[in-house]
Copies of this chain bind each other. A is one copy, B any other.
């Protein structure tokens, strides 16, 4: 008989709630507008109503637990703490709030750690003991699995490779430091590289020149690269070169079986992945040559965050 868990993905705008079967299928979903809530008690109460609905509508009378992915979710405390993109201020004890409604395990973590755990439980990392996942989006997140377990560290905040400094004194990062990986290899970083290259290449008159700079996205750059736009290709060559170094650096830490890539920019496909592979092979320390694969996440796009959250229950 199948078992079920609930995965909740808390974003600044939306909260997705999914009923996940143990074979890794999200069988049904509900949605709430996170930014309409200013009161955490009411927010959790409304989520719980949706959980009950999901269970009733799918004839599920028991769940194994609730996994919650949130930008600043803390695994150890079960809280979200001073989330800059949420209306709930201070520390919100999600675990305690959910446990006041239902007596099942409630596990909270940040979204990149949840994505890594989703890959381990439901995706391409099934059976792996050691891997690293980079999630490329507005920022760059990461999750690290060592000996089959998430690396959480002293405070639960480990696996922040997006804020490892790749270029000392490089680009200003929102975190306050300069040269963090995410200033180059996030969707935002790719956009930034494209804008710089357009500005510094006066004789470029391709497709990206025609876009209003304010409206340029990394997806547009990816599409242009696929159509052979030489500047867009150079943008991804630079991005892939730097990401490959960051991935090779991460390998020196934990000597994993694989490094996974996840997120929007990865959908650019080979225009990104070919330079990544080239740079990774070139920069991988000889000790690890031949022992590490580069893999693209196998979680289905639409449900990846929910699956990751639900997987936390198995952590």
Binding site for B on A (CB under 8 A): 129-130, 144, 146-147, 149, 151-168, 175-177, 242, 245, 248-250, 252-257, 283, 285-288, 291-292
Contact = CB atoms under 8 A, between A and B. Distances in A.
The dominant DSSP class at the A interface is loop
25 contacts: A130-B158, A146-B146, A146-B153, A151-B253, A151-B255, A152-B255, A153-B254, A153-B255, A154-B255, A154-B256, A155-B291, A157-B255, A157-B287, A158-B252, A159-B253, A160-B255, A160-B287, A160-B288, A161-B252, A163-B285, A165-B245, A168-B242, A176-B286, A177-B285, A250-B253
Most buried by B among A130, A253, A257, A285: A253
Contacts of A177: 283, 285
B164 A253 contact: yes
Given A176-B286, A291-B155, A165 B255 contact: no
**Oligomeric state, in number of copies?**
2
A276 B156 CA distance: 25
Contacts of A164: 249, 252-253
A291 B166 CA distance: 22
A254 B285 contact: no
Nearest to A72: B287
Given A146-B153, A155-B288, 15 more contacts: A130-B154, A144-B253, A152-B255, A155-B291, A156-B255, A157-B287, A159-B253, A159-B254, A159-B255, A160-B288, A161-B253, A165-B249, A177-B285, A249-B249, A250-B253
